Amino acid sequence: MYGKEIKKVLISKDAIAKRVAELGAEISRDFKDESVTLVCTLRGACVFYADLARAIDTDLEMDFISVSSYGAGTSTTGEVKMIKDLSSPIQGKNVIIVEDIIDSGVTLSYLKKLLEAREPKSLKICSLLDKPSRRKVDFKGDYVGFEIENEYVVGYGLDYNQKMRHLPEVCVLSPEVYGG
């Protein structure tokens, strides 16, 4: 369907939609009658973030942050760089960081410590994907869509060289494309 760049579809758009609805319902139950601030980690989580926000049935504030430990390559440098900070204070608020994938855990571990220092009421992590085999630090998400094997995935916000984010499914990139 996609051509030689894509090895296979890993998670269909229907499976994603179903799981996002389930995550939204779970978050709605956990924060019933409370306000939640969803923090989108740019750019990869933007598609998931938009769908998740619409699936949550409680008062929501939305904000964006951008940090990276990848630079121009496909593996973490271990050094995290702040690219865009939050627009509003989070002290005393219920905060959920929305991420596309928990991979090495380096970036999210840094981000969690950074935001915990701002004294939110609560701080949770919601990730579409979790790739525990790649973990470099001990890190777990609070709300996780799918656990996946160590394959290079694109689509539904995830990219390869800023391309393929628009694909409606999560797909495995052919190793020939990225030299894997």
The Cα 1–Cα 123 span in angstroms is 40
- Beta bridge partners of residue 139, listed in sequence order: none
Radius of gyration of the chain (CA): 16
Q: 105-156: per-residue pLDDT in tens?
A: 888 999 999 999 999 999 999 999 999 998 889 999 999 999 999 999 999 9
List the chain residues with pLDDT less than 50: none
**Where exactly are the structural domains of the chain?**
14-148
CB 44 within 8 A of CB 163: no
Domain 14-148 has CATH 3.40.50.720: no
Give the whole-number percent of the chain exceeding pLDDT 90.
80
Q: Is 103 a catalytic residue?
A: yes
The Cα 85–Cα 114 span in angstroms is 11
The residue from 103, 130, 142, 159 that is catalytic is 103
Token output for 11: 């998670």
CA distances from 178 to 75, 131, 159 (A): 11, 18, 12
Beta strands 60-68 and 81-84, pairing class: antiparallel
